[in-house]
Amino acid sequence: MTPDAPSRRTPADADAPARTSAGDPARTLALLWRDPSALPRRGPRRALDVDTIVDAAISLADDEGLAGLTMRAVARRAGVPPMSVYTYVPGKAELLDLMLDAAYARMDRRPTTGLPWRERVRAVAEENMALYEAHPWAAAVSTLRPPLGPGQMAKYEHELAAFDDAGLDDVTVDDCLTHLLVVVRACARDSIEAHATREQTAQGDEEWWAAAGPVLERVLDPAAYPRASRIGSAAGEAHGSAHEPAHAYRFALDRVLDGLERLVEGRAGTAADG
């Protein structure tokens, strides 16, 4: 796993806020679950299906980010007239739900049966980081109102199982999973942005420091900022940059797991005392 190099694409979508469940909820859920009532009837001018449109949209977003995701561009990628896309999907809001749910459904899921809960939870983190490596646009989508399709539900079911036998109540299990996924998503976004910065500036961190370092040494008084000077220099020398996303992800994941372990052990101790 190399979270510092998740994709060849740039996250232009960071400037275009996007969220799931922004369309008509009833129509979206019907489409997500492929309810026949929500699907267009096939005919001579409807040679495609919803899945083909979703695949075209995912391919487009993978290449151009969410900023390049328009219904016209999706139609062009699918090879159909622009207005025909609307016979399959009402609009971009519903399409985004379908895209993310499809990405969830296709995630690789590591077999973890028989492993300790901590290793199962680590696998969940790695699976989500892999999702963002494959589809950087997914990290830019707010899922506070999740899409609630079959892909989302399968993902949620799988991830909750990582906490089986940890001795936590249902609400705490959901809290723990949410905490883990929030941290992974934040690390993924940093990784994506770092990759984009290198591409957009055609300059690596070492080159940037080579230009900025001498100026900083000239203007910065270490006596005025002793901790920043000492610790910043040590960290920069250790990681080769002011912020190294792969290291930050590994450190954050270990700390999350350590914290969850203390929680699990504390609950176990309370149960034993009772």
Question: In CATH, what number is assigned to the domain containing residue 193?
Answer: 1.10.357.10
Q: What is the pLDDT of residues 33-90, one digit of tens each?
A: 999 888 766 544 556 899 999 999 999 999 999 999 999 999 999 999 999 999 999 9
Contact 142, 19 (CB under 8 A): yes
Strands (DSSP E) contained in 16-150 are 18-19, 141-142
Residue 103 CA to residue 152 CA, distance in Å, equals 9
Q: How confident is the model at residue 1 (pLDDT cuts 50, 70, 90)?
A: very low
Residue 51 CA to residue 41 CA, distance in Å, equals 14
Q: Which residues contact 107 (CB under 8 A, 6 or more apart)?
A: 127, 130, 131, 155
Q: How confident is the model at residue 120 (pLDDT cuts 50, 70, 90)?
A: very high
Domain with 64 in it:
1-202+217-274
Tell me, yes or no, whether 87 lies in a domain. Answer: yes
Residue 256 CA to residue 77 CA, distance in Å, equals 41
Question: What percentage of residues in the chain have a pLDDT greater than 90?
Answer: 73
User: What pLDDT is stored for residue 193 in this prediction?
Assistant: 94
Q: What is the pLDDT of residues 228-265, one digit of tens each?
A: 999 999 998 898 888 899 999 999 999 999 999 999 99
Q: How far is the CA of 258 from the CAs of 173, 176, 178, 241, 264, in angstroms? A: 15, 12, 16, 26, 10
Tell me, yes or no, whether 52 lies in a domain. Answer: yes
Specify the pTM.
0.87
The angle formed by the CA atoms of residues 241, 242 and 243, to the nearest 5 degrees, is 90
Q: How confident is the model at residue 11 (pLDDT cuts 50, 70, 90)?
A: very low
Collapsing DSSP to helix, strand or coil, 222 comes out as: coil
Domain count, the chain: 1
Q: How confident is the model at residue 5 (pLDDT cuts 50, 70, 90)?
A: very low
Q: What is the pLDDT of residues 198-226, one digit of tens each?
A: 888 888 877 877 888 889 889 999 999 99
Tell me, yes or no, whether 207 lies in a domain. Answer: no
